[in-house]
Structure 1
Amino acid sequence: MIVPMIKYGFLVYHRDFDSFLLRLQELGMVDIVRQSRTISDGERSLIAQIGRYNQAIKELSTRQAQGDQEKAVDPEAVLAEYESLVKEKEQVENSIRKSTKEMLDVKPWGKFDVKLISELAARGLYIKFFVAGEKAMSEFPLDEHPVEIIHTEAGQVYFVWIQHEEQATLAVDAVELKAPTYSYVEKQAEVDGYRLRSEAINNRINVLASNIPLLKQKVTDLSNQLEFNSVQLSADRQAEDTVMVLNGWVPEPRNAEFVDFLQKENIYYVSEKAQKTDDAPILLKNNKFARLFEPIGSLFTSPIYGELDLTPLFAPFFMMFFGFCLGDAGYGVVMLIGAQLLKRKMPKLRSILSLVQLLALATIIFGTLTGTLFGVSMVDINLPIIQKFKDLFLEPSQLFNLALIVGGIQIVFGMCVKVFNLARMSGWKYSISTIGWLILLIGTAVIFGLSQIEGLGVELFGLAHKIILGVAVVGIFLFNSPGKNPLINVGLGVWDTYNMATGLFGDLLSYIRLFALGLSSGILGNVFNSLAFGMAPDIPVVGAIVTAIILVAGHSINLFMAALGSLVHPMRLIFVEFYKNSGFTGGGKLYQPFKKE
């Protein structure tokens, strides 16, 4: 259900406004009505700071924290040092890449003294560097020229030519290279130095990782400040900016507590109960069972304030649909046990895991009804206890019919919800048209069922059926748009009849997916069983290992894919077919009180 809301308007003297907001934020009860406005420079600055801290936390979380004894107390200093180290690390890594390339370029020349080469050139002895192909060098008379081969690699010969003329040329097909200004050894030492600095930076960043809680607390403080500024700027300034007007919503169950707070603060206020047409925030309050399904409903949208919360109404259907789609008792047992084990390791996900266990129970029930256990049809198992219940297992044709029956029930149930919702929001006369359709559908179904019983004398389009049709037609054609011209109502009724006739048929056929998914998961499980026992080699130990691997891997894949389909397709049936037939509007805003994190 949707918790009723109380709308408040506050009048606060401007000098007391900030202190009032601080106490209001500490109370954490009021959902403030925000004004549509441009984000201020202060808010932009806070958002940018939060982004910087979150980025640092994200990257530091991947590090192995070191140096707990060096934990800092100033988060801004930690962030500044971290960002400086990251920037320096990027520069060092660029230098490593550049120096490594330069080192590889001079590697063929080995160890040499750059200064000595310059001194020889100053005295008129020039050393030139060349590279040529091995074929060209094999034809070159090395003994006749002052040439020294330094290195040969990948068909290339690196050599130097010593001569007295700077502009002299060598009669060989070779490429002259620019004389290196550094040696391989020098560059290697340079790269090693950069790597040492990079390692030191990484170690220092690892030390900073121990300050993640401090950074997270700073993010919380900044978020609270951002929220405070947002509310502060949402106030309407009156009486030459001396009076601040602020509006908000408070859940009715906490209204008495909030009134006591306002009286102690000596704040002038006005309040009224929210009307169905108000854009009040949505706070859901359901029983333990329905509460587990609230995350499912939130994936689509929240109801508006005036309409019904459909969570407790679709919860049993969703549970049943999931079991119908997965339909394997073995998979249900695995999910049930797995969720129970994970509850101990993941207490924060306890409610989600409880939902998984409910869905697992539904899977076990439907798997038992269909006689499917890890892809094995229990009908084929020759055990007396199983054969005793053989006739109770549902056949594919029965599952097909059951899917259509369940779909029809949910569609009619959705229309009943629509009747109540329309009556609640707009008045009973707006729901008469839908009541007419319910009379038509349910009445025709009852007449058809009774006509199949011999001796009752009930038949389709008999007197009783015609009376039902007459009552339904009046509601459908004369009350579909109360207050309008009767001729317009008749025209709209014809259009509504066309949409209903085509829409209901399409909606009903959509529920066949329940049957199809349940059948496919069982077939795939059986295929993996056949592969496991058919492909295993006829070697005692090896065969058992191969069989086990195929069974575990195959059924894991099938369980994942089938569970995913069993989650998505029931959601589709709920959000499309059920929501449409129940007249669900949606688009509500969740209750988000102004509070400190």
Structure 2
Amino acid sequence: MITKMKKLTFLVYHKEYEAFLERIRELGVVHIVEKQWGEMDDGLQQFMQKRSLYKNMLQAMYNLAEKQPEETVYAGQSADGLVQKYDDLQLQLQDLNQKLPQLNKDIAQMEVWGDFDWDSVNKLKEAGWHIQFYMCHERDYNEAWTEEYNAIPVQERGGYINFVTVTPGAVELGLEPLRLPALSLSELMARKTEMEAQIVATQDALSAFCKANYRTLEQYSIQLEGDIDLLKVKLNSEEKAEGAVVLLEGWIPVDNETEVKDFLDNSGVYYEIRNARKEDNAPIKLRNNAFTRMYEVLTKMYGMPDYAEFDPTPILAPFFSLFFAFCMGDAGYGLVLIALGFFLKKKLSKSLRGMMNLVITLGIFTAVIGAVLGTFFGVSLFDLEIPADLKQFMIVGKVGDTSYDKQMLLALLIGVVHICIAMTVKAVGQTVRFGFKESLSAWGWLLLVVGFVCTGGLSFFKVISEDVSTWAFIVIGGISAIGIYLLNNIHRNVFVNVGAGLWDTYNMATGLMGDILSYIRLYALGLAGGMLGGVFNQLAFMVNDAAGPALGWLFCGLILVFGHTLNIAMSCLSAFVHPLRLTFVEYFKNSGYEGKGETYKPFTVVKKQIN
């Protein structure tokens, strides 16, 4: 649910404003209203750029520190000095890495000619003998060059000949002489060894620098966040009475009203507090129980609700868990998720342990739903020798003598219920926000869809007779048509309403059926995962029978472990993405949820996240 908010407005004497802001920040419960007074302040823009620099640099430093930075913070280091030192080491490493490929290229070129001394070549040149290096295609090589120019082939490779000429003067063969590196092969190899050692040393120096100074830069980044928040608050303040007083607006949760009032009374400032209105763009603070709270991260992925909307998390939580379990469809995989959640909960940082509670919860749902669907590590539980009392709880096989699969119909039934709940939320939400008269169309569609579904279900199970169901359809359709076609907007002409109702009918007829059919993916994904698990089981035991008792069990175990691990990984990915799609598309669309609310972010002292 959404926490109720209070609008807070206060006037502060300009000379006391700085001290007052510091006390407000220490209080840590006031969400300051951000206003646009024009272009971003130059100081704030510089702070934002520096924050981006620190963020990217910290991420790189954390990886270079092998994710194990020292905990010491060095007060004597300046932030600019740390950034400069880091950039110098990176530039030095980048320069060495750029020179190494060229050096390797020179070495590859000189390896053709071997290790010779350039001083000897230069001495021969001073004595009147010119030595030139060439490379040409085999068909272009002239054997006469051997006698005329003392041409000596050095290497033949890939259809090309490398050769050298030794003549009393410079010659022209119609070929361009090669320009070789000025260093010998041994000198180049020595320089490469030295450069590789420099690269290793620079990398070690960079890693040591990151380990030693990560926490220091992190502390500067935290201080910068506080400076940014403070500057934003100042920029969102409005001077009144020719600058004598400063006006500031904010929001506080109802739970903190007494605390804030006591603080403001002691501060001696003028203030006003009122309840948030529907039209106010009040920030959103979610308040849910322990189970629902785990799923708030999914709501935040789409967008926080508007203050006048409903919090979708209480409905999202059970349905997402059900969808996830249906897509996994295997009780054994659910037990693996539970064990994995408890194991990682002890290994991961504190900030990630909450996610493991979600993994454990999803594992519990998967284990229960997987047992109902009759699958355990790809094995059909219904085909095993288990008590009949347990089998009666399993949903497997076909419906009677028909060709309809029970699990497929169950997936469609879940979709119908999910969309009906979404339409109910939409009707109630529009009534709360705009009034009953402005939401007659939503109520009409809700009555039509839910009424037809309930009537059809009662008629199918012979609870009511055909005559009763026929009259029920007529009455429900007639009442719904009034809201859909005649009163969908009481401020418009009735003929315009009829046209708008026909357009809504087309959209509902095409969209609603597609939305319901989308829930077949729950059945399809669960079926695919179960079939793939069964294939790995068959393959493993086929290998066991073929390889004999000793190696057979070894290979059988390896195939089972690898196969089911791979299947769990793929199933988890599908079981997360597709339920999320059913929630974000089918449910949110039919419930009218927009998710454009602003998250409650109190002006407070920025603190380091403890891992």
TM class, shorter-length:
0.7 to 0.9
Alignment counterpart, residue 304 of structure 1, candidates 303, 306, 315: 306
Q: 1:88 maps to what in 2? A: 92
Q: 1:41 maps to what in 2? A: 42
- Residues 7 and 272, structure 1, Cα contact 8 Å, conserved in 2: yes
Pair 1:547–1:420, CA change in 2 (3 A): same
Given the alignment of the two structures, is residue 355 of structure 1 paired with residue 344 of structure 2, yes or no?
no
Given the alignment of the two structures, is residue 424 of structure 1 paired with residue 432 of structure 2, yes or no?
yes
Cα distance in 2 for residues equivalent to 1:487 and 1:245: 51
Cα distance in 2 for residues equivalent to 1:180 and 1:339: 60
Which stretch of the first structure deviates more once superposed, 318-327 or 33-42? 33-42
Q: How does 1:430-441 map to 2 (within 5 A)?
A: 430-441=438-449
Pair 1:127–1:473, CA change in 2 (3 A): closer
Cα distance in 1 for residues equivalent to 2:128 and 2:219: 69
- Residues 146 and 152, structure 2, Cα contact 8 Å, conserved in 1: no
Cα distance in 2 for residues equivalent to 1:95 and 1:442: 72
Q: 1:592 maps to what in 2? A: 601
**For residue 590 of structure 1, what is the amino acid of its counterpart?**
T
Given the alignment of the two structures, is residue 481 of structure 1 paired with residue 489 of structure 2, yes or no?
yes
Cα distance in 1 for residues equivalent to 2:190 and 2:523: 71
Q: Percent identity?
A: 34
Distance apart, 1:309 and its partner CA? 0.7
Q: 1:161 maps to what in 2? A: 166
Which stretch of the first structure deviates more once superposed, 37-46 or 365-374? 37-46
Pair 1:369–1:450, CA change in 2 (3 A): closer
Q: How does 1:12-31 map to 2 (within 5 A)?
A: 12-31=12-31
Pair 1:112–1:544, CA change in 2 (3 A): same
Pair 1:189–1:492, CA change in 2 (3 A): closer
Q: 1:557 maps to what in 2? A: 566
Q: 1:220 maps to what in 2? A: 222
Q: 2:419 maps to what in 1? A: 411
Q: 2:585 maps to what in 1? A: 576
Pair 1:68–1:387, CA change in 2 (3 A): closer
Cα distance in 2 for residues equivalent to 1:180 and 1:355: 63
Which stretch of the first structure deviates more once superposed, 365-374 or 468-477? 468-477
Residue 133 of structure 2: SS of its match in structure 1?
strand
**For residue 9 of structure 2, what is the amino acid of its counterpart?**
G
Distance apart, 1:128 and its partner CA? 2.3
Q: How does 1:128-277 map to 2 (within 5 A)?
A: 128-131=131-134, 152=155, 154=157, 156-159=161-164, 161=166, 163=168, 166-167=169-170, 169=171, 176-177=177-178, 181-209=182-210, 210-277=212-279
- Residues 448 and 460, structure 1, Cα contact 8 Å, conserved in 2: no
Pair 1:470–1:149, CA change in 2 (3 A): closer
Cα distance in 2 for residues equivalent to 1:41 and 1:354: 44
Q: 1:376 maps to what in 2? A: 379
Pair 1:29–1:156, CA change in 2 (3 A): same
**For residue 442 of structure 2, what is the amino acid of its counterpart?**
T
Cα distance in 1 for residues equivalent to 2:53 and 2:180: 47
**For residue 419 of structure 1, what is the amino acid of its counterpart?**
A
Given the alignment of the two structures, is residue 519 of structure 1 paired with residue 527 of structure 2, yes or no?
yes
Residue 272 of structure 1: SS of its match in structure 2?
strand
- Residues 302 and 586, structure 1, Cα contact 8 Å, conserved in 2: yes
Cα distance in 2 for residues equivalent to 1:7 and 1:548: 64
Cα distance in 2 for residues equivalent to 1:88 and 1:500: 64
Cα distance in 1 for residues equivalent to 2:322 and 2:240: 56
Cα distance in 2 for residues equivalent to 1:416 and 1:152: 84
Q: 2:400 maps to what in 1? A: none
Pair 1:13–1:322, CA change in 2 (3 A): same
Cα distance in 1 for residues equivalent to 2:582 and 2:220: 44
Residue 302 of structure 2: SS of its match in structure 1?
coil
- Residues 3 and 284, structure 1, Cα contact 8 Å, conserved in 2: yes
Residue 480 of structure 1: SS of its match in structure 2?
coil
Given the alignment of the two structures, is residue 76 of structure 1 paired with residue 84 of structure 2, yes or no?
no
Cα distance in 2 for residues equivalent to 1:449 and 1:96: 75
Cα distance in 1 for residues equivalent to 2:481 and 2:429: 22
Cα distance in 2 for residues equivalent to 1:469 and 1:29: 51
Cα distance in 2 for residues equivalent to 1:179 and 1:307: 75
Pair 1:355–1:120, CA change in 2 (3 A): closer
- Residues 450 and 459, structure 1, Cα contact 8 Å, conserved in 2: no
User: Residues 273-323 of structure 1, C-alpha deviation per residue, up to 9 Å, x if partnerless?
Assistant: 110111111110011111111112222121111111111123222222222
**For residue 305 of structure 1, what is the amino acid of its counterpart?**
Y
User: Residues 522-558 of structure 1, C-alpha deviation per residue, up to 9 Å, x if partnerless?
Assistant: 1222122222223453322222222222222222222
Q: 2:296 maps to what in 1? A: 294
Residue 428 of structure 2: SS of its match in structure 1?
helix
Pair 1:271–1:415, CA change in 2 (3 A): same
Residue 224 of structure 1: SS of its match in structure 2?
helix
Cα distance in 1 for residues equivalent to 2:10 and 2:247: 6
Distance apart, 1:250 and its partner CA? 1.3
Unaligned 5+ segments in structure 1 are none
Cα distance in 2 for residues equivalent to 1:224 and 1:6: 24
Cα distance in 2 for residues equivalent to 1:178 and 1:411: 76
Q: TM-score, normalising length from structure 1?
A: 0.87
User: Residues 236-288 of structure 1, C-alpha deviation per residue, up to 9 Å, x if partnerless?
Assistant: 23344443322221111112212222233332223321101111111100111
Q: How does 1:441-590 map to 2 (within 5 A)?
A: 441-448=449-456, 451=459, 459-460=467-468, 466-536=474-544, 537-590=546-599
Cα distance in 2 for residues equivalent to 1:451 and 1:150: 98
**For residue 360 of structure 1, what is the amino acid of its counterpart?**
G
Distance apart, 1:190 and its partner CA? 3.9
User: Residues 426-454 of structure 1, C-alpha deviation per residue, up to 9 Å, x if partnerless?
Assistant: 12223344334444444445544555677
**For residue 377 of structure 1, what is the amino acid of its counterpart?**
S
**For residue 58 of structure 2, what is the amino acid of its counterpart?**
I
Which stretch of the first structure deviates more once superposed, 231-240 or 221-230? 231-240
Cα distance in 1 for residues equivalent to 2:464 and 2:108: 100
Pair 1:274–1:191, CA change in 2 (3 A): same
**For residue 585 of structure 2, what is the amino acid of its counterpart?**
V
Which stretch of the first structure deviates more once superposed, 507-516 or 216-225? 507-516
- Residues 447 and 458, structure 1, Cα contact 8 Å, conserved in 2: no
Residue 443 of structure 2: SS of its match in structure 1?
helix
Distance apart, 1:64 and its partner CA? 5.0
- Residues 69 and 215, structure 2, Cα contact 8 Å, conserved in 1: no
Cα distance in 2 for residues equivalent to 1:472 and 1:54: 56
Cα distance in 1 for residues equivalent to 2:291 and 2:567: 28
Pair 1:14–1:450, CA change in 2 (3 A): closer
Residue 50 of structure 1: SS of its match in structure 2?
helix
- Residues 378 and 386, structure 1, Cα contact 8 Å, conserved in 2: no
Which stretch of the first structure deviates more once superposed, 501-510 or 564-573? 501-510
Cα distance in 2 for residues equivalent to 1:71 and 1:322: 44
Residue 10 of structure 2: SS of its match in structure 1?
strand
**For residue 561 of structure 2, what is the amino acid of its counterpart?**
V
Pair 1:89–1:464, CA change in 2 (3 A): closer
Pair 1:109–1:388, CA change in 2 (3 A): closer
Q: TM-score, normalising length from structure 2?
A: 0.85
Cα distance in 1 for residues equivalent to 2:41 and 2:601: 21
Cα distance in 2 for residues equivalent to 1:450 and 1:102: 85
Cα distance in 2 for residues equivalent to 1:468 and 1:276: 33
Pair 1:554–1:191, CA change in 2 (3 A): closer
User: Residues 155-183 of structure 1, C-alpha deviation per residue, up to 9 Å, x if partnerless?
Assistant: 645546263xx45x38x897645586444
Q: CA RMSD in A?
A: 3.3
Which stretch of the first structure deviates more once superposed, 526-535 or 289-298? 526-535
**For residue 82 of structure 1, what is the amino acid of its counterpart?**
Y
